[in-house]
Amino acid sequence: MSSQYGIHAKEGQTGEEMSQRCAQELEQYLSPWSERLDAYVDRRIVGNLIATVAGIVQTRSDLTLSELGSAITGPEHAEAGTQRLSRLLQHQGWKPEMLEQVWWEQAERFRHEVQQRGETPLCIWDSSVLEKAESQRLEGLGKVRSSKARRLARSRPGVFNRPGAPIMVRGFEWESLRLLGKSGRPQVAAMRWWSRDKQQVGKPQQVQEEMVRLVAWRWGRRVRHVFDRGYGNGPWLALLSHYRVRFVVRWMKGRKLLDAAGQERKAWEIARGKRAWGEARLLWDTHRHVFRSTRVLALPVRHPEYEGALWLVVVRQGKGREPWYLLTNEPVETEQDAWELAISYVRRWQIEESYRFQKCELQIESVRVQGWESRRKLLLLVTLAYGYLLHLLGPPQVPLRDSLLEQWCQRADWRLRTVKMPLYRLRWALSRLWLRYPPQFHGCQPYRPPTSLTWPTCSLPWWSTLWHQSGFLF
């Protein structure tokens, strides 16, 4: 960061003032979701929503109801906080789709801002799993391929494991969409969790087709969709051809395409012997954190299951590195066009980092709620906490962010002080600040012994929100 975390806040700002300012930023960020929820449930539930998201940011242990309840009302009234959280998750007056609809509205606003800067918005797709290997009685559990077991079983010096069939455990499937520009922080567009049930054949294809239909209806060809190798197959190309969206997908080198002469060959055979375009450029490898000398070229190709012309962009990263084969339906006639698509795929690594942050830092895999609907609601609240941390990385919050990092999460390592998006340090600073100085949220009152059984009503009458019901289930 250019400011090197200098203190831009007012001199003499106390911890209580900074804690309350961060709480106000959280309330302002959650205001669209709070207003939507306030139209359907009582105001006490809305206050519990804000306090729960703050508790997720603050809690450093597993995301259990007792731990989050302790963060809501304090350790001395943890049981009352757990009851508040259970009431929020089990309330029948709101559904997870209400929160998902607000994310789409936020993503549309972000897309408009990116286009105003003259950039092409990137819609990054990726899928993952939530592994619940030791769970047996949770609703909606299905079998998933364990990436954690694959990493642990990989052969290393001194350790040899015979390769074989993938290890399957109990868990849930996870599909995610992010919006990005050429630079800056990402924006959450959609989150879906579902299970691969035996009674529902073809469930992955149904979920993904529903999401493609939704983004095609909302954005059409105004965004460029970026996919990894898992989406590079014929059925997926046929689906993209049906909805006519712009895309770039990484193609595996051994899968076949039709070259300019109509001959079916593997991707690496089509690009073999072709000279790269222009001069080499230094491209930043976001995975290895090094610069690589890179060259590009593009070739016209076709695929039997796609109706239209395709281009194969080959990104060569020097000796010892396997080239990238990027398949796109956008015309690639110049070297600049090829570089733009290559940089778009480089930006896809942002979604991998978001998966790692939510699993390792926010501990989303530790969610322990038995009911499927209640679990979906809590997972969405974890995503709201992640979105709030991204919100603090925006340009308007630079002074507050720098003060937090300087006072509550100092680090001597120069690499941590120069990182562009210090998401981990920001979460550590907020956790320490709110543990030391618990904030007060509007609408979430401290615990008091019950004296009456009256409940506050909604802030808005039911008939004023009928327009919400017509669209929140898209």
The full DSSP string for 324-361 is EEEEESS---SHHHHHHHHHHHHTTHHHHHHHHIIIII
Residue 130: CB atoms within 10 Å = 20
pLDDT at 420: 74
Q: Which residue has the tokens 């009582």?
A: 42
Q: Which helix (H) or strand (E) holds 428?
A: helix 423-436
pLDDT tens by residue, 316-359: 987 778 999 999 999 999 999 999 999 999 999 889 999 999 99
Nearest to 323 by CA among 259, 258, 271: 271
Cα(first)–Cα(last) distance of the chain, in Å? 39
Angle subtended by helix axes 15-29 and 398-408, to nearest 10:
140
Q: Residue 198: which pLDDT band, with cuts at 50, 70 and 90?
A: low
Nearest to 48 by CA among 7, 11, 89: 89
Mean of the per-residue pLDDT values for the chain?
86
Q: Examine the pLDDT at 433 and tell me if it is beyond 60.
A: yes
What are the DSSP calls for 106-137, one per residue? HHHHHHHHHHHTT---EEEEEEEEEE-TT--S
Predicted structure pTM score: 0.87
Paired tokens of 208: 């993904």
What's 156's DSSP letter?
A: B
Domain edges within the chain = 15-95+395-469
pLDDT at 61: 86
Alpha-carbon gap, residue 37 to 49, rounded angstroms: 9
Spatial neighbors of 152 by CB under 8 A, at least 6 apart, are none
Q: Examine the pLDDT at 199 and tell me if it is beyond 70.
A: no
In angstroms, what CA-CA distances link 350 with 116, 359, 396, 442? 22, 14, 21, 34
Alpha-carbon gap, residue 474 to 469, rounded angstroms: 10
pLDDT at 142: 82
Q: Examine the pLDDT at 471 and tell me if it is beyond 60.
A: no
Q: Residue 466: which pLDDT band, with cuts at 50, 70 and 90?
A: very low
Alpha-carbon gap, residue 299 to 341, rounded angstroms: 13
pLDDT at 8: 43
Spatial neighbors of 305 by CB under 8 A, at least 6 apart, are 234, 235, 237, 238, 241
Spatial neighbors of 50 by CB under 8 A, at least 6 apart, are 26, 27, 30, 34, 441, 442, 443, 444
Least confidently predicted of 94-98, 280-284, 470-474 = 470-474
pLDDT tens by residue, 391-406: 999 888 989 998 999 8
Q: Examine the pLDDT at 1 and tell me if it is beyond 90.
A: no
pLDDT at 270: 95
pLDDT at 434: 93
Q: Which helix (H) or strand (E) holds 247?
A: strand 246-250
Paired tokens of 462: 């039911």
Q: Which residue has the tokens 């993938």?
A: 166
pLDDT at 446: 57
Q: Residue 468: which pLDDT band, with cuts at 50, 70 and 90?
A: very low
* Rg (alpha carbons) of the chain, rounded to whole number: 24
Paired tokens of 303: 């695929």
pLDDT at 10: 44
Q: Examine the pLDDT at 176 and tell me if it is beyond 90.
A: yes
- Give the mean model confidence (pLDDT) for residues 115-120: 93
pLDDT tens by residue, 254-303: 999 999 999 999 999 999 999 999 999 988 887 777 888 999 999 999 99
Q: Residue 169: which pLDDT band, with cuts at 50, 70 and 90?
A: confident
- Give the mean model confidence (pLDDT) for residues 457-467: 50
